[in-house]
Amino acid sequence: MLKFSLITLLLAGAAHAAPFFEMQQVDHPAIASIERYTLQSPSKENIAYHGEFASAFAQGFSFAPGSGLGFKKMDRDGTVYFWATGDRGPNGDAPKVQVGDKKREAKFFLAPDYAPRFAEIKVRRQRSADVILSKPYLIDGQVASGLPLPQGRVGATGEVALSDTLKTLDASPRGIDPEGIVAGKKGQLWVVDEYGPFLLQVDAASGKVLKQLAPGAGLPDVLKHRQANRGFEAVAFTPNGKVYAMLQSTLNIDGETKSSAQFIRLVEFDPSSGATRTLAYPLDVDAYKKTGDAKIGDLVAIDNTHFALIEQGKGKDKQLRNVLYVIDIAGADTLAPIAGKEPEYASKADLANVKMIRKQRVLDLRELGWQAEKAEGLALYNGGLAIMNDNDFGLKTELASGKDVDDVVIDNGQLPNNERLVVKPSNEATELWLLNLKQPLSHYYPK
């Protein structure tokens, strides 16, 4: 049973607007209360848009830094500061594009000049959560791009980037799709990317990418088999100085394993030596129609071997799930081939002798009234967990006929049968929830 207190603050001068703070009292064994904030971002952070659907976005697109969250500091008065990151920018689902005799995946990029950027968020407890600054990522002295990488480059997804008029956009050699962020040491951030997958070391003061690790170049080569747009989604930094990067979904080795692999890989990286290894996080296999439907939202370190993470996706019952787990990597095996093949090919029985990461369920966010599809930011603060959603810059793309984009193909820059693209506001805000815990997360360590 959910109980709401009377503490609610509304945007000044806009009583019709969504509240930007609510204190939610919860009757739940794990959670004492929830501080619910609608993230406020100043208009200077908006992404300008003058395209075909500009009348629906008079102020442009609101900055959406909900793809990753990391704790920065807490003041004595309880004010909390977080690092956050946006992803590759305002984009939406598109039909496949006919290229020669092949149909290639595609995305609409509504602001193709957008430079992915990270932000600092200030939470004044029981008042507001505000973006107080943002900085673009810099690669080789130039701002990064959210556009896909050129074909043939490490990390290329093979996607066709389209404008809102169905024109093909050029790929970018500086393309990144940031999906997780965490503070490391000495003013540096660790950021993970879905394209590569890449692990980036970033200077927090300037946004300069100091190091970019890729499959076969600092990271295990097997990671090149990530599903397109399912590269690294989560990153954590442990007290002993190690970095843990987690794929969003199962690997798709030679196009054969994405729907049957029993686990998602967690990559351990030691910056002091460059050593890496991968561990297996066991999925809730029976909850999904196929294991490729499972996605990781984010990851945060509790200590050197314990983490909290979000596993989410549409279940076989067609209901969305956003499940919070505490996991323990102590004793987990370093993944290695089984009978000469990568373990993604192995059945549940074949994996019986592989020690996987242990996990303990804490709750499904939907038990608490969570409505967003994507819980992609997760961080610890004194006394609780912070969770944030990715609202995809507040837009959605669809076809005027109501058909699914997968049901049509763009050929010669045209949609078939007078079909039209529609881009409209999704009306989903970026929300930041502070879950005040009844007991520390150590209470949920797997036995």
- Please report whether residue 375 resides in a domain: yes
Q: Looking at the DSSP assignment, which residues form a beta bridge with residue 322?
A: 312
Q: Closest by alpha carbon to 71, among 62, 82, 85?
A: 82
Q: How far is Cα 68 from Cα 34, in angstroms, rounded to an integer? A: 20
* Residue 138 near residue 207 (C-beta atoms within 8 A): yes
Q: How far is Cα 77 from Cα 406, in angstroms, rounded to an integer? A: 51
Q: Is pLDDT above 50 for 143?
A: yes
This prediction's pTM = 0.95
- Give SS3 for 303: coil
Structurally, the chain folds into a number of domains equal to: 1
The CATH number given to whatever domain includes residue 242 is 2.115.10
Q: Is pLDDT above 70 for 11?
A: no
Q: Which amino acid is it at 415? A: L
Q: Is pLDDT above 60 for 18?
A: no
- Please report whether residue 72 resides in a domain: yes
Q: pLDDT at position 2, please?
A: 46
Q: pLDDT at position 230, please?
A: 94
* Residue keyed to tokens 């990067």: 245
Q: Is pLDDT above 50 for 51?
A: yes
* Residue 147 near residue 200 (C-beta atoms within 8 A): no
Residues 317, 319, 324, 326, Cα dihedral to 10°? 10
Q: How far is Cα 396 from Cα 422, in angstroms, rounded to an integer? A: 8
Q: Is pLDDT above 50 for 164?
A: yes
Intra-chain end-to-end CA distance of the chain, in Å: 29
Q: How far is Cα 202 from Cα 439, in angstroms, rounded to an integer? A: 34
Average pLDDT, integer, range 147-176: 96
Q: How far is Cα 102 from Cα 447, in angstroms, rounded to an integer? A: 50
* Residue 322 near residue 349 (C-beta atoms within 8 A): no
Average pLDDT, integer, range 161-172: 97
- Please report whether residue 75 resides in a domain: yes
User: CA angle 261-265-266, nearest 5°?
Assistant: 160
Q: pLDDT at position 19, please?
A: 66
- Please report whether residue 6 resides in a domain: no
- Please report whether residue 346 resides in a domain: yes
- Summarize pLDDT for 374-426 with one digit per residue, the tens: 999 999 999 899 999 999 999 999 999 999 999 999 999 999 988 999 999 99
Average pLDDT, integer, range 85-105: 96
Token pair for 331: 């004793």
- The chain-wide mean pLDDT, for the chain, equals 94
Q: Looking at the DSSP assignment, which residues form a beta bridge with residue 36?
A: 22, 433
* Residue 306 near residue 327 (C-beta atoms within 8 A): yes
Sheet containing 276-282: which strands, arranged edge to edge?
232-237, 243-247, 263-269, 276-282
- Give SS3 for 200: strand
Q: Closest by alpha carbon to 86, among 215, 193, 172, 183?
A: 193
> What is the per-residue burial (b if ≥16 Cβ within 10 Å, else e) of 358-395?
bbeebbbbbebebebbbbbbbbbbeebbbbbbbbbbbb
Q: Which distant-in-sequence residues (6+ apart) come within 8 Å of 284 by Cβ?
A: 294, 311, 323
- Please report whether residue 270 resides in a domain: yes
- Please report whether residue 4 resides in a domain: no
Rg (CA), the chain: 21
Q: Is pLDDT above 50 for 144?
A: yes
- Please report whether residue 1 resides in a domain: no
Q: Which residue has the higher pLDDT, 15 or 180?
A: 180
Q: pLDDT at position 383, please?
A: 80
- Parent domain of 377: 21-444
Q: How far is Cα 208 from Cα 202, in angstroms, rounded to an integer? A: 6
- Summarize pLDDT for 232-250 with one digit per residue, the tens: 999 999 999 999 999 999 9
Token pair for 349: 């029985």
Q: Which distant-in-sequence residues (6+ apart) come within 8 Å of 170 by Cβ?
A: 147, 161
Cβ atoms < 10 Å from Cβ of 133: 12
Average pLDDT, integer, range 326-336: 98
Q: How far is Cα 122 from Cα 259, in angstroms, rounded to an integer? A: 40
Q: pLDDT at position 15, please?
A: 38
